[in-house]
Amino acid sequence: MARGIKDKVAIVGMGCTTFGEHWDKGPEDLIVDAFEEALADAKIARSDIQAAWMGNALDDINVGNSALPLAHALRLKAMPVSRVENMCATGSEALRAAVYAVAAGAVDFALALGVEKLKDTGYGGLPLRTKGLANDLWLPYGSAPGSFAQLAGAYAAKHRLNGDDLKRAMAHVSWKSHQNAVHNPRAHLRKAVDVETILKAPMIADPLGLYDCCGVSDGAAAAIITTPDIARGLGVANPVTVKAVQLSASHGWEMQYGAWDGSYVKNTQEAAKRAYAEAGVRDAASELSLTEVHDCFSITELVTMEDLGLSEEGRAPRDILDGRYDRTGAQPCQIDGGLKCFGHPVGASGLRMAYEVYTQLLGRAGGRQLDKVDLGLTHNLGGAPFNSVAAVSIFGRLN
Amino acid sequence: MQAEAKVVGARAIGSVGAYAPLMRLDREAAARALKFSGLGGRGIGRRAVAGWDEDPVTLGVEAARYTEGAPGAVVFASTSAPFFERLHATLIIDALALPSTTRARDVSGSRRCAVSALLDALLASGCTLVAAGERRPGRAGSPLHLSQGDGGAAALVAEEGAARLLGWASLSRDLVDIYASREHPEPYAYEERFVRDTTVSQVIAPTIRKALANAGLAGSDIQHAAVHEPVAGLWRDISKATGITAPNHASDVAAALGDLGAAHGLFGFALAAARAKPGERILLAGFGSGCDALVLEMTAPMPGAESAEDALARGLAFGDYVRFLSLNGALEMDWGVRSEFEQKAQATVIERYGRDMVGFIGGRDAAGNVQFPKSRIPVRPDAAGPEPMEDVRLADDPARIVSVTADRLNFTPDPPFWFGLTQFDNGARVMMEFTDADARGFSVGDRVRMRLRVKSHDQRRGFRTYFWKAAPAERPILGGP
C-alpha cells in the first residue's frame, strides 16, 4: 500500500534567477545562476549530486531537447540527466522526478532545475508551434489567453454573474499581484498598477485584457533534494520537507465528452484532493499559510481558488474582492507576484513557486516575508482548461 | 460552329442550392474610398466577399449541401479553384460524405463551364451533382474587382426532377471579353463597348434564339430568365434581340452579390426556380468563350431553391474598403512576426485522417456516445478498453456553444480569432473555430451550425486543408443598400 512521500525528502538548497528579459544571458547562463545559488544554499559539493532532471517546456526555442544543455552548462560528468516536459507544469515535473528519486532511495542528492529562455522569439506570449500533425487538421490554433479566456464566459454563465462584476474581481487578482511584486527584487514586473488601468487595458482575448495576462520571461530555478536525515547531518535542524506532490492530467473528458461546463479545471480539483490526502491536510482553507498558484491569467487564479477548495463554489469573486488572498488577507496568494509579475519562464515556474514557499518557510523573504508560515501550496497548471496537466505540491517543515 | 439540338435529355434538375458568403461590401463605400482615383466602376449594389477561410471549394460545398439526392458523379466548376493538380471534386465528395465510388471531375476554362456541365449532365445518364464555386482574385481599382463577387451554386440532375429540359443550343466562340491566365491570375477585361456590341449580337442572342427554336417556343413563352450578362445592363439588349420580356434573375444576383463567374448561371437559375411556378419556363444561359442556352420547364417546386432567396436576403453589409482588399487578397498586409508560423500539412497525416476531417466524421461507441475525433478507446468515462466505433457525420447536426473567446493574440487574417467548445445535440463535443461572426459576436449558449472552411493555408507551399467551423445558426437580415 503506497503511503505517499510526505516528509520522505527535504529541500536543502534552492536558487532562482531574476525573471525577465535577459537580453544579455543565454539559457546556459540562467542554468548556472540558479544552480550556483542552490548549491551555495545547500552547502554541499557539486560532486555530491548524483542525478538531475531538467525541466524545459518549449524545445522550439533556445534550450533544445534532452538534458544535455544542463549537463554541458554545469559540466555534470557522466551524470544521469533527463529532460522532462509537461507544458507549463514542467518545473513541477522536474521537482517530482527528483523527489521520487530520493524518496526511492536511488540517490542521496538529486537536482531539479527548470529553465526557459523565451525572449528571443521577437514577440510577446508563448512561441508559436512549428510542427503540423493530425490535430492541426481540426483543432483551433488559439493562443493561451484565448484558451483560458473561455473559463470566464463559462464561469459567468454558470454563476449568473454580470461580466463586469467578474471582470472587477479578475482585475483585483492582477492588482494584488502587482502590489506584491513591488517587494520582490527578482520579479519581472515590479510596478503597482491601479484597478482602473487594469480594467481599461486593451483586450487580448475577450474578456482578458493586457493586465489579466501574465507575460512570459527568461529565467531558471533549481532545487536540491535529499533525505531529512542527510539534511540534518548537514546541520539543518528542521529542514523544509515535501508533504505532497500530485499530478492529474486530462484524458479528453473535458474536450470530447459532454459533461464539463467549462467553468473550472477538473485536474486542479483532482490533484488538490490527492495532495491534501498525501499531506494530511483536512481543511486547506485554514491550514495553508500561503499559496503560489498558476495565475497565467487572472481568471485562472480566480477559479483555482475554488478548485483548491479555498473558496466555496461561486464565492471566489467575493473572497477576492474582500481581500482574502491579498498580502494582508487570511490566506495570501502570490506573495511573490506570481506568474503575473514574477514572470513565467515556463519550465522554471513550478520551481519558482516552490522557491517562494521555501523562502517563506525559512523566513528569508525580506520585505515580503509573511508573519506565520507553516504550510505552503504550489499549483502549477499546464495546457488549457479543456486539456490540462495540474501539479499540486505542499511544503512545510519536518517538525 | 453552332451545334444542332437533336434530343432533349431524359434527365431533369431535381434540386438546386445557392450560397453567398456572409460579408457584403457596399459598392458605394468602395467608390468613396476610390474617389481620388476615379477608378472602381459603378457604386451601386453590393459585392459578396468571401471570408479569409472561404474558397471556391467551400463555397461550392455550401451550395451543394442544399441539394437532395445521391449523385453517381460530382462535377466541380470554377475558374478560380486553388489547385491545378489535386481534384476539387474529390474533396467535395469527401465533404458531402458521398461514397468514394462517386465519379469526380473538375471543369474550368470559362465562366460558362458550370452551365455546360449541367447541360452535359441533362443529356447524359445517371445522377450528377454540378457544384460551382468562385472566389476570383482582383486588382484594386479595376471595375471587375467590384462588379465580381464570391459565391457558390449547385444543381443536381436526376432521372426525375422539378425542371425538365425542353430545348438547348450551344455556341463555341473565342470572343475574348475577359481572360485570366497563369501569368495573370486576375481577370483582365477588354473594352466594355466592344463587349456590349459583339457578345449580344454574335454569341448570346443567336444561341438563345436557337435554343428557343429547338424547343419550339418563342421568346414570349419564357416567364423567367437566368442569363449571364457579360457586363451589367446588357439584359435589355438581349431581351430586345430574343423577344424574351421576362425578368433576368441573374441580373439581381449581379447587383446583390456580383458576377459569380462559374457559379453565376446556376445561382441565377436557382433564384429563378425559387420565383417560378410549376408550368412556367426558365431560359438559362451561360456565357464565356461561347454560350450554352437551355430552355427548362418547371414541373414542381424546386427543392433547395429557397437557398438563393435566402442568400440574397441575409448577410452582413460593410463599407471598410481596406478590409475588403485584405480579405480578397488585393492588399498584402504585414501581420507581424506571429503570422510567420509553419502551416505545412503532411500528406501521410491527411491520408490517415483527412477524410474524417473533411467529412466531419466522428464515431459512436458501443454504448452510444458520440465523439470526435474517433479513437480506439472511447472518451466515455466507463469505457474499459478498445471498442468498435460507428461513423457519425457531424456536419449537419445542430450544436451550441459551451465556451468561447475572441482571441486577439494569435494570427488570423481577419481578427479576432473566435474559437471555443461546441456541444452537439447528439452528444459529441468539439473544440473548434467559429466563423461568420456578426456584430453581436458569439456567446455561451448560442446555437451554431457547421460550415466547411479552409482550416490551414500554407502560402509558402501553396497548399490548404479544410475543416468545419461553427457559424451562427441564423444570419442577420440585410437592409437595403
Does the pLDDT value for residue B5 go beyond 70?
no
pLDDT of residue A131: 59
Does the pLDDT value for residue B59 go beyond 80?
yes
Residue positions counted in chain A: 399
pLDDT of residue A124: 80
Task: Please give the single-letter amino acid code of residue B287.
Answer: F
Does the pLDDT value for residue A94 go beyond 80?
yes
Do B442 and B472 meet the contact criterion of CB atoms below 8 Å apart?
yes
Cβ-defined contact of B432 to A138 (cutoff 8 Å): yes
Instruction: Give, as one character, the DSSP assignment of residue A228.
Output: H
Cβ-defined contact of B336 to A123 (cutoff 8 Å): yes
- Single out the residue of B110, B151, B157 nearest to residue B134, CA to CA: B151
Does the pLDDT value for residue B2 go beyond 50?
no
Chain A residue numbers touching B372 (CB-CB < 8 A): 138, 256
- The residue to which cell 438559362 is assigned: B284
pLDDT of residue A128: 72
C-alpha cell at A116: 526557459
- pLDDT bin (cut points 50, 70, 90) of residue B123 is very high
Strand segments, DSSP code E, in B379-446 are 390-393, 399-407, 417-424, 429-433
- Best of B346, B410, B443, B465 to mutate (most A CBs within 10 Å, chain A): B410
Does the pLDDT value for residue B8 go beyond 80?
no
Query: What whole-number distance in Å separates Cα of residue A293 and Cα of residue A92?
Result: 12
Residues 393-432 on B with a CB inside 8 Å of A are 402-410, 416-417, 419-421, 423, 427-432
Residues 447-476 on B with a CB inside 8 Å of A are 455-456, 465, 467
Enumerate long-range contacts of B93-99, CB under 8 Å, 24 or more apart: B94/B354, B94/B355, B94/B358, B94/B359, B95/B57, B95/B61, B95/B358, B95/B359, B95/B395, B95/B452, B95/B466, B96/B61, B96/B64, B96/B65, B96/B359, B97/B359, B97/B360, B97/B361, B97/B393, B97/B395, B98/B70, B98/B71, B98/B74
Do B434 and B469 meet the contact criterion of CB atoms below 8 Å apart?
yes
* Integer angstrom CA distances of residue B341 from A28, A68, B55, B435: 26, 27, 21, 21
Do A399 and A238 meet the contact criterion of CB atoms below 8 Å apart?
yes
Query: What whole-number distance in Å separates Cα of residue A218 and Cα of residue A121?
Result: 11
Query: What whole-number distance in Å separates Cα of residue A63 and Cα of residue A43?
Result: 28
User: What does the mean pLDDT of chain B come to?
Assistant: 95
pLDDT of residue B342: 80
Do B465 and B455 meet the contact criterion of CB atoms below 8 Å apart?
yes
Establish if A100 touches chain B: CB-CB under 8 angstroms. Answer: no
Runs of H (alpha helix) within chain A: 27-42, 68-74, 90-103, 144-158, 163-181, 195-200, 228-233, 253-256, 266-279, 284-287, 298-307, 316-321, 338-341, 346-361
Residues B268-297, mean pLDDT to the nearest whole number: 98
Angle made by CA atoms A96, A100, A103, in degrees to the nearest 5:
140
Among residues A88, A213, A214, A296, which one is catalytic? A88
Establish if A318 touches chain B: CB-CB under 8 angstroms. Answer: no
Does the pLDDT value for residue B3 go beyond 70?
no
Does the pLDDT value for residue A27 go beyond 90?
yes
Domain boundaries of chain A, sorted by first residue: 10-121+218-240, 144-212+243-397
Chain A residue numbers touching B341 (CB-CB < 8 A): 128-130
Angle made by CA atoms A398, A98, A274, in degrees to the nearest 5:
65
Measured in whole angstroms, the distance separating CA A399 from the mean position of its chain's CA atoms is 25
- Best of B357, B394, B444 to mutate (most A CBs within 10 Å, chain A): B444
C-alpha cell at A149: 479566456
A344 given a catalytic annotation: yes
Compare all CA atoms of chain B with the CA of A254 and give the residue at the minimum distance: B429
Phi, psi torsion values for A36, nearest 5 degrees: -60, -35
Cβ-defined contact of A130 to B371 (cutoff 8 Å): no
- Which of B103-112, B408-417, B466-475 has the weakest average pLDDT? B408-417
Residues 285-344 on B with a CB inside 8 Å of A are 336-338, 340-344
Query: What whole-number distance in Å separates Cα of residue A385 and Cα of residue A266?
Result: 8
pLDDT of residue A129: 66
| A169-202 residue pLDDT tens | 999 999 999 999 999 999 999 999 999 999 999 9
Cβ-defined contact of B402 to A252 (cutoff 8 Å): no
CB-nearest to B405 from A149, A251, A258 is A149
pLDDT of residue A134: 83
| B344-383 residue pLDDT tens | 888 888 999 999 999 999 999 999 999 999 999 999 999 9
Residues B388-404, mean pLDDT to the nearest whole number: 97
Does the pLDDT value for residue A159 go beyond 50?
yes
Residues A209-218, mean pLDDT to the nearest whole number: 95
Query: What whole-number distance in Å separates Cα of residue A375 and Cα of residue B178?
Result: 78
Phi, psi torsion values for B395, nearest 5 degrees: -60, -30
- Which of A63-72, A245-254, A297-306, B270-279 has the weakest average pLDDT? A63-72
- Which of A123-137, B208-222, B260-274, B310-324 has the weakest average pLDDT? A123-137
pTM, full prediction: 0.92
Cβ-defined contact of B429 to A255 (cutoff 8 Å): yes
Do B395 and B362 meet the contact criterion of CB atoms below 8 Å apart?
no
Above pLDDT 90, what percent of chain A? 90
Superfamily in which the A144-212+243-397 domain is placed by CATH: Thiolase/Chalcone synthase (3.40.47.10)
Query: What whole-number distance in Å separates Cα of residue A286 and Cα of residue A278?
Result: 17
Write down the number of H helices and E strands in chain A.
14, 11
Does the pLDDT value for residue B113 go beyond 80?
yes
Does the pLDDT value for residue B4 go beyond 90?
no
Does the pLDDT value for residue B417 go beyond 90?
yes
Phi, psi torsion values for B93, nearest 5 degrees: -60, -45
| B218-241 residue pLDDT tens | 999 999 999 999 999 999 999 999
pLDDT of residue B1: 39
Query: What whole-number distance in Å separates Cα of residue B408 and Cα of residue A203?
Result: 7
Sign of CA dihedral A39, A43, A45, A50: negative
Strands A51-55, A81-84: pairing is parallel
Cβ-defined contact of A150 to B416 (cutoff 8 Å): no
Q: Name A185's Cβ contacts closer than 8 Å, sequence gap at least 6.
A: A18
- pLDDT bin (cut points 50, 70, 90) of residue A231 is very high
Q: Which domains does chain B have, with CATH numbers?
A: 12-328 (3.40.47.10), 337-472 (no CATH)
Cβ-defined contact of A137 to B345 (cutoff 8 Å): yes
pLDDT of residue B6: 41
C-alpha cell at B69: 439526392
* Integer angstrom CA distances of residue A22 from B130, B164, B481: 60, 75, 56
* Integer angstrom CA distances of residue B337 from A60, A84, A211: 15, 29, 22
- pLDDT bin (cut points 50, 70, 90) of residue A286 is very high
Sheet holding B370-371, edge to edge: B370-371, B361-364, B390-393
Residues 110-129 on A with a CB inside 8 Å of B are 121-123, 125, 128-129
Q: Name B339's Cβ contacts closer than 8 Å, sequence gap at least 6.
A: B411
Cβ-defined contact of B379 to A256 (cutoff 8 Å): yes
- End-to-end Cα separation, chain B, in angstroms: 43
Establish if A136 touches chain B: CB-CB under 8 angstroms. Answer: yes
- Single out the residue of B298, B134, B116 nearest to residue B207, CA to CA: B116
Query: What whole-number distance in Å separates Cα of residue B227 and Cα of residue B264?
Result: 9
- Single out the residue of A141, A91, A183 nearest to residue B456, CA to CA: A141
- CATH topology match: A10-121+218-240 vs A144-212+243-397: yes
| B437-481 residue pLDDT tens | 999 999 999 999 999 999 999 988 999 999 999 999 999 999 865
Query: What whole-number distance in Å separates Cα of residue B126 and Cα of residue B116?
Result: 16
Enumerate long-range contacts of B324-329, CB under 8 Å, 24 or more apart: B324/B25, B324/B30, B324/B47, B324/B49, B325/B140, B326/B413, B326/B414, B327/B23, B327/B49, B327/B50, B327/B51, B327/B52, B327/B413, B327/B414, B328/B49, B328/B50, B328/B137, B328/B138, B328/B145, B329/B137
Q: For the domain A10-121+218-240, what is the CATH code? A: 3.40.47.10
Q: SS3 for B394?
A: coil
- pLDDT bin (cut points 50, 70, 90) of residue A381 is very high
pLDDT of residue B344: 84
